[in-house]
Structure 1
Amino acid sequence: MLVVAGTRPEIIKLAPVIRELKKTGKAQVLFVLSGQHYDYEMSMAFVKDLELPRPDAVLKTGSAPDPVQLGVLTKKLAEFLHDHDVDLVVGQGDTNTALAAALASTKSGVPFAHVEAGLRNFDRRMPEELNRMLIADLAEVNFAPTVRSAENLICEGVPPDRIEVVGNTVVDSVLWGAKAARERSDVLERLGLEEGGYVLATVHRVETADDRVKLGAVMGALSELSKEMKVVIPLHPRTRRNLSRFGLLRLLRGGDILLVPPLGYLDFVRLLLGCKLVLTDSGGVQEEALTLGKPCLTLRRSTERPETVEAGGNRVTGLNGGDILASARRAMKKRMVARPNPLGDGRSGERVARAILRRLEGGGWFESPSYLREGAPRRRAIVVDGDLAGRSVGEMERELKCRAMAVFDGSGRFAMPAADLVLRKGDVLITLG
């Protein structure tokens, strides 16, 4: 089995899966870094912080325009698969590495498993959104973090038997990391910070960091906010480069702003634990903040993590400086209401590992459907009346010789079409067959 990571968030979210797979002793796991994050030392620092085994290979890919990088990654991963006996490839998230792994494995006849599948913000201008949609079609199994993610996949035509709802592995990592960070990180002392006495901000996405107007608006808001409370910004290399290129460093003078280089995982988690508020354009940081009970403002126009907003821990501000500043002031005055974490319980890695082993031991991932008489399947929406009410989804599948794709109750709420789900009058069953 091959587990592929290319960026630091992928390392964080695949760590629980790798640990659980190795703990079982039932699978040989190869761990490869693609080199998409071309700072090798920083990637290895995350591997060390998360107590992962040293990678079996590091593919030196480096930075390049998206289409070029995707091509290079796909070629290198295909060559690796050619040279190694691999029965499954596991990737995570929405990066070029994840898409390249899905392409290389599928085209090599090796099934691909996608961790954190089904996230959508419905903004096709974002390269990550396109990656997510393409990977879903290629993956033999999609590990969705929430029921909403599974619903997104089903509505795009992914069959339910290729979806497993397992929670988000980021919860496993950040809960583990919070304990380790309190014991091992001295970052607050090194930076002269006090618990609860600063705001933490991260900005790295291409659509913001590469746009002078958007980046200027965000940095201007952070500068104003720093006159009220210290702002700590771990600077992504792209952001640092563009602040200089666009002449925006001047915006960060005059307030109480602390710029620091990229941090290791435990140091970052310790900063997150100690902050008053988080402002970020990172998807993973939205999840980490919610898990640790820290209010978060998302510096974007949309989020593919709507559960964080609905849980009351996150607010999408847009990229207008005035709106960002006003939202930050409100968030610092308001206490978060403690609610159950919709993202998981810290055991997602265990569920992913168990599902992978179950499918591997069952044998045969690929299945070609047979429609010799009909020619091709058709979708139908069946309204459950009094005669059909009380039957299970499995009974309906056997009787109608079809595959259940989704169930919506009388008020339009989605439900996974589990075989033992009992249908009620007014439900709508979507079938394929």
Structure 2
Amino acid sequence: MNAPRIDLVAGARPNFMKIAPIVRALREDGRLRWRLVHTGQHYDRDMNDVFFEELGIPTPDVRLGAGGGSHATQTAKIMTAYEELCQRDRPDAVVVVGDVNSTLACSIVAKKLCIPVAHVEAGLRSGDMSMPEEINRLVTDAISDWFFVTEPSGTQHLLREGKDASRVHDVGHVMADNVLFQAHKLEGMDTSSYETDAFKQRHARYGVLTLHRPSNVDSQEGLQRLAESLVPISKTLPLAFPVHPRTRANLERFGIDLGPSIELMPPQAYMSFLHLWKDAAVVLTDSGGLQEETTVLGVPCVTLRENTERPITVDEGTNELAGTEPRRVIQLATAAIEGRAKRGRRPALWDGNAARRIVEVLARELAA
């Protein structure tokens, strides 16, 4: 009898960072077969063989090629393509990660075809319904069969929403698995070819900035308000800024000049970016993933948002929730620059073994 087979669904670069440890754990365990499905939600010419080689996973078995479009258009294209795949070659279960449109779309398809769904990074809540990711999280968790949570707040949300406690599994975080694995690998690598290495050679101390949330970058008022805090910070500490394409376009459209001490650079590959931020004096970001990764490696983080769906990074980790008011952002960044940032700690179970725990549960459940 063939071993059960699962689909691992990913649609955007951050998804693959979370899938990579699960692939390694599946190979190590051997009880389940698997198929890697790339929905094509984010088409990136840099997402080639080198990208997957960096993460230690093979290129996808299936590319659905959904491409861009509005949320509705993209979700519909993914659903249509994934339904055709499942009807043609049905998996025994579907594993989705995170909170992107691909997560939502493939969960709905699987559930309507009576294929069980496992959600990795389940239960996270920001309480902000203006975030598309929050809607994706809520809907995916409403129909999933197994919930793999990264922190206690996830379990609390799911139980309050009426989920069966026996299906909620506190496993730790695959994002922690990945960053620990990649950071260890980076130690023995020649990094001189990385664009970020050149920046590090020029600056003994520096900070790192990322911005991509629509609430921060899609209005002139919002982006200008952030500039009012970032420019003064950069006069004390130079900032490396890998710029999201939409953010760069809006900086140009609104005529916002961040000055000479904020160095704009293209979006970076995973290892090149890790090489940069792991040694930063402070990371300023609106990224959910970076809030977690900085906590794993003990790097001070200032989050430029009013809320976070990852409260453990604030309660236990190195993250500070700043909002976007300039005085507060400057205050927290200055504390980090002067060595007064809170120390924080790595949360329990963020130990590099979350994926093994996930595979253990899936193998047991699917065997039953």
TM band (smaller chain): over 0.9
> 1:302/1:342 Cα in 2 relative to 1: closer, same or farther (>3 Å)?
farther
Equivalent residues in 2 for 1:43-82 (5 A)? 44-82=49-87
C-alpha distance after superposition, 1:373-419 (max 9, x if no partner): xxxxxxxxxxxxxxxxxxxxxxxxxxxxxxxxxxxxxxxxxxxxxxx
SS at match of 2:324: coil
Residue 361 in structure 1 maps to residue 364 in structure 2: no
User: Residue 335 of structure 1: CA displacement?
Assistant: 4.4
SS at match of 2:208: strand
> 1:106/1:286 Cα in 2 relative to 1: closer, same or farther (>3 Å)?
same
> 1:219/1:180 Cα in 2 relative to 1: closer, same or farther (>3 Å)?
farther
Residue 153 in structure 1 maps to residue 141 in structure 2: no
Alignment match of 1:279 (pick from 276, 284, 289): 284
- Bigger CA drift: 322-331 or 101-110? 322-331
5+ long unaligned stretches in structure 1? 363-433
Counterpart in 2 of 1:211?
A: 219
Counterpart in 1 of 2:347?
A: 341
Alignment match of 2:94 (pick from 89, 103, 110): 89
Residue 291 in structure 1 maps to residue 306 in structure 2: no
User: Residue 312 of structure 1: CA displacement?
Assistant: 4.7
The letter of the residue matching 1:7 is: A
C-alpha distance after superposition, 1:254-287 (max 9, x if no partner): x311111111111111112111100110111000
The letter of the residue matching 1:99 is: L
Counterpart in 2 of 1:325?
A: 330
Equivalent residues in 2 for 1:165-184 (5 A)? 165-184=170-189
Equivalent residues in 2 for 1:183-198 (5 A)? 183-184=188-189, 185-186=191-192, 187=194, 188-193=196-201, 197-198=205-206
Counterpart in 1 of 2:357?
A: 351
Equivalent residues in 2 for 1:93-108 (5 A)? 93-108=98-113
Equivalent residues in 2 for 1:10-25 (5 A)? 10-25=15-30
Conservation of the 8 A alpha-carbon contact between 2:124 and 2:137: yes
- Bigger CA drift: 221-230 or 91-100? 221-230
SS at match of 2:236: coil
The CA RMSD over aligned residues, in Å, is 1.7
Separation in structure 1 between the aligned mates of residue 343 and residue 118 of structure 2, nearest angstrom:
35
Alignment match of 2:266 (pick from 245, 261, 276): 261
Separation in structure 1 between the aligned mates of residue 71 and residue 197 of structure 2, nearest angstrom:
39
User: Residue 70 of structure 1: CA displacement?
Assistant: 1.1
Residue 228 in structure 1 maps to residue 228 in structure 2: no
Conservation of the 8 A alpha-carbon contact between 1:88 and 1:111: yes
The letter of the residue matching 1:155 is: R
> 1:32/1:306 Cα in 2 relative to 1: closer, same or farther (>3 Å)?
same
Conservation of the 8 A alpha-carbon contact between 2:51 and 2:269: yes
Separation in structure 1 between the aligned mates of residue 129 and residue 281 of structure 2, nearest angstrom:
33
Alignment match of 1:133 (pick from 135, 138, 142): 138
Conservation of the 8 A alpha-carbon contact between 1:8 and 1:46: no
Separation in structure 2 between the aligned mates of residue 260 and residue 97 of structure 1, nearest angstrom:
28
Separation in structure 2 between the aligned mates of residue 244 and residue 154 of structure 1, nearest angstrom:
46
Alignment match of 1:110 (pick from 106, 109, 115): 115
Conservation of the 8 A alpha-carbon contact between 1:195 and 1:274: no
5+ long unaligned stretches in structure 2? 1-5
Conservation of the 8 A alpha-carbon contact between 1:196 and 1:274: no
TM-score norm. by structure 2 comes to 0.93
User: Residue 245 of structure 1: CA displacement?
Assistant: 2.1
C-alpha distance after superposition, 1:9-45 (max 9, x if no partner): 1100111111111222222211011111121423654
Separation in structure 2 between the aligned mates of residue 196 and residue 6 of structure 1, nearest angstrom:
36
Counterpart in 2 of 1:4?
A: 9
- Bigger CA drift: 195-204 or 183-192? 183-192
Conservation of the 8 A alpha-carbon contact between 2:298 and 2:318: yes
User: Residue 123 of structure 1: CA displacement?
Assistant: 1.2
Conservation of the 8 A alpha-carbon contact between 2:294 and 2:300: yes
Separation in structure 1 between the aligned mates of residue 48 and residue 126 of structure 2, nearest angstrom:
28
Counterpart in 1 of 2:312?
A: 307
Larger-gyration structure (1/2): 1
Counterpart in 1 of 2:207?
A: 199
* Structure 1 stretches of at least 4 aligned residues deviating more than 6 Å after TM superposition: none
Aligned residues: 359
SS at match of 1:81: helix
User: Residue 159 of structure 1: CA displacement?
Assistant: 1.3
The letter of the residue matching 1:6 is: G
The letter of the residue matching 1:68 is: T
> 1:301/1:43 Cα in 2 relative to 1: closer, same or farther (>3 Å)?
farther
Counterpart in 2 of 1:425?
A: none
